[in-house]
Structure formats: structure tokens, C-alpha cells
Amino acid sequence: MAMMRLRREDPRVVGTFRLHRRLGAGGMGVVYLGSDKRGQRVALKVIRPDLAEDQEFRSRFAREVSAARRIRGGCTARLVAADLDADRPWFATQYVPGPSLHDKINEEGPLSPAEVASIGAALSEGLLAVHDAGVVHRDLKPSNILLSPKGPRIIDFGIAWATGASTLTHVGTAVGSPGFLAPEQVRGAAVTPATDIFALGATLAYACTADSPFGQGSSEVMLYRVVHEEAHLGGVPDALAPLLASCLAKDPADRPSTLSLSLRLKEIAAREAHGLSGGPLENGPGTGAGWERRPSERPTGQRAEEYARQRTERRTAGSSSPRPHPSRPPVPRDAAARPAGPASAAGKNPRTGGRNGRRVPVARPTGRNGSRTPVRTTSGGRRPGPDRRLLRQRVIVFVVVTLLVALGIAAAQGCQGPARGLGAERSASAAAGVGMAGPYGVGERNP
């Protein structure tokens, strides 16, 4: 929520609360951000000085406080304190952090059907608590809905009124926001919970299209369209259009009840979320493909990005298991561990896959020049193909044979070395005339 600095004319302390920032201003007064002595932050509303003496505005302000006190539920701002007898009456509610629905759509554009249905279901539950307290909000619109981290909250019960009461209208005027008023409010008829259903339908249509279902124009033009023309729902998704059309019916009796609307919006929100995350297809069981269904149901924008991310995650998770070739049936994982059995009735050898013991050649991928290409693994590296393994075996055999030959030559040379030494020694002795030592003594000749 946008905050502004306090102006010179703004009070600094109201009751027991110290004011810090301006949160906004409306037809009744100014809303401030304040805090008490314990540090609890509140949204404090003060009636403008020029309206404090107007009894009609004081009565309206008193009804707002009374309505806030009667409502119990998590979809409204809890009343903290109030002073209706002060010179400038005020009341403080729990501060709700977060932008209004109006600001969010202006900044980010229309919401997805799942988001709209989820917000609508929560608002329906809030209205159910409001109506159970016997109160009709009468001014539900995007700027009166705050999107807090805990869910949407309904604020500003400034023109709330008891069930069955008429609108505060003068001649040619109506209290409320043109484009979100119900036809009975414009006519000055009694308001009922169906009045808030009409406003909620217009609000959800605005969330889907970023525009009022009755277009733009002056207050008089907008009020005329609300009473006499049908709402324009051309940009509303098909999942929500029929339900919102029933909410915008001219006759209050034709609109769904608050409870029925809440249940139907919950169903739509669950269906949209289920379709986004993957579920049963139109003609078969679920495959986790999500929006891979009919072309008219394919997502766009943020849902398309989410769908692409989910597809990437599924592909990454499934990349560890090899995919069978399209022309071959899948091979069981335990096929290699199964013992070879007898040939089938068709004559196929269970080990080779051929008939009558003949091995069937397996086609291997080849490159442009006819050479075999290496097979890539799922981790991105290269796994050697059959040619590399054969070459490695040949190199090993060559190295082993070479080593054996070298060892044989070395052994042969070792055996011939002593014999050659002895022969040389005998030749040297003969040349010197000295005989070798033998059984007949040194220098004696053998007979």
C-alpha cells in the first residue's frame, strides 16, 4: 500500500495512537498509519473537519464502526479502537500490509483464472461472515480489497447497512462506486446480500480484464449501463464467464447465494490449479503433462512459463533412464540377468535374437564419411564404441607379444655369454702354450 508523508494540517496523535504516514483519503475522511505504545500498527480513519458536524456523515461513520464490531472472520480488518464522540470521530482497525487489488492489476495487468478464482473464493467466505452478521457492505470494489500475505481482506464499511435497508440516495444520486453498484442500489430499492454478490462479480471481472464490465464513462453513463445494459464479459476466461454472468444478473433473485458462489469458486480454483500442475487428460489417464490437452486450454503468460519449467524438470528427471529406439520394443531392465532359455516357438534364439541360432546384425550409427560415431552418455561425456574397444584389445596384444619376444631374446643372449667367454679363454691359453688345468696336471698334454 502506498504511503505518503504527513501534511502540515494532519494530526500527529489521535487518541492513544501516534500517526506516522498517510495511507489514503476517501469521501469520508483520511486514513493514517499509526501505532500504539506496544508498537501494534493500525489503520486509523478520521472524519474530515468539514464533515464532522454533518449528522448524516456521523451516522454513516457510526454504522461503519458498528458493522466492523459485529463481523467475525479472517477476511476483514479487525476493529481495534474507536471514538465516535470526539470532535473528529475516528476508529482504528488492524493494519493490513499489501497492495489493493486495484493497484496490483494496474501495475501487473489481469490475473490468471486460477488466481481470480482463488481470490474470489476467499472474498466469498468473507462476505459470508459479513452477511451472517446481518450486514451488507454495499461498496465492494477493487480498491476496497487488500491483498495481504495471508489472503485478501475486505475493508471500508463506510456505507455498510443492515440487511433490507434502502440506499442513502437523493434525487438522481446513489451512494457507492459507479460500475460496481447493483441495479437495485441505483434505483433506490432495498439492499440484500445479493447486492454484494453483484459487486463481487463486477470486481472479479475487473480482475480478469483490468476493466469494468460496464466500460468507462461518466457516473450517469455508468449507472445507466448497470441498470439497462448487459455486462461485457468478452475478455473473461471461459472457466469463469458463466458464473460471473450469473452474479451480474439484473434481478437479485437470479444471482447465486454467497455460500453457493464460494463453493463454485473453490471448485474452479482447484480445477485450474490441478490442470496447471498436471492431471487426467481429456481422453485418458493423467501423465503429468499438465496443459498438454486441448489447444483451447493451453496457457499463456505466467502459466505458460510455469508449464515450460515443469516440462524441463520432467525431462531432466527422466534423462537418467535411456529411451528405447522407436523401431525396437523396450528391453526389460533385468534382461541381462535372465538365464538363456530354449528357443521360442517361432524358432528364435533367445540369446542372439535370430532364427536357428543365427546372430542378427545390429545397425550402428555412422557419420557422413561412413565411420562409426561414438555413443554419448546421458552425463554428456563420450562412451567408447565397439571400434575403440577392438583397437584397445589389439594394442594390448601387441604390447604383450612385444614384451614376450624381448624377454626371449634377452634369455637367449644370457645363455650364450658364458660359452663365448670360455672359448676365448681356451684360445688365449693355446696361443701361450699353456694347457688348461685338468686331471693330468698343469702344462701336461692329454694323451
> Strand, coil or helix: what is 88?
coil
Cβ neighbours of residue 127 closer than 8 Å, sequence gap 6 or more: 75, 137, 140, 154, 193, 196, 197, 200, 258
Distance CA 160, CA 60 (A): 8
- Residue 426: which pLDDT band, with cuts at 50, 70 and 90? very low
What confidence tens digit (pLDDT) does each residue in 103-119 have? 999 999 999 999 999 99
Termini Cα distance of the chain = 134
Position 160 pLDDT exceeds 80: no
What confidence tens digit (pLDDT) does each residue in 221-259 have? 999 999 999 999 999 999 999 999 999 999 999 999 999
Question: 3.90.1170.50, 3.40.50.1100, 1.10.510.10, 3.40.50.450: which CATH number matches 98-280?
Answer: 1.10.510.10
Mean pLDDT rounded to a whole number for the chain: 74
pTM check: above 0.85: no
Same fold, 1-95 and 98-280: no
Strand ranges (E), 77-200: 79-83, 90-94, 135-136, 145-148, 151-154, 161-162
What confidence tens digit (pLDDT) does each residue in 371-419 have? 555 545 444 445 545 567 888 888 898 899 999 998 888 888 765 554 4
DSSP 210: S
Domain residue spans of the chain: 1-95, 98-280
- Residue 66: which pLDDT band, with cuts at 50, 70 and 90? confident
Helices 193-209 and 113-132: angle between axes, nearest 10 degrees: 160
* CATH homologous superfamily for the domain 1-95: Phosphorylase Kinase; domain 1 (3.30.200.20)
Catalytic residues: 139
What confidence tens digit (pLDDT) does each residue in 162-206 have? 444 433 333 333 455 788 999 999 999 989 999 999 999 999 999
Q: Report pLDDT for 283.
A: 35
Distance CA 62, CA 393 (A): 97
- Residue 303: which pLDDT band, with cuts at 50, 70 and 90? low
Distance CA 243, CA 221 (A): 25
Q: Report pLDDT for 14.
A: 94
Distance CA 385, CA 439 (A): 73
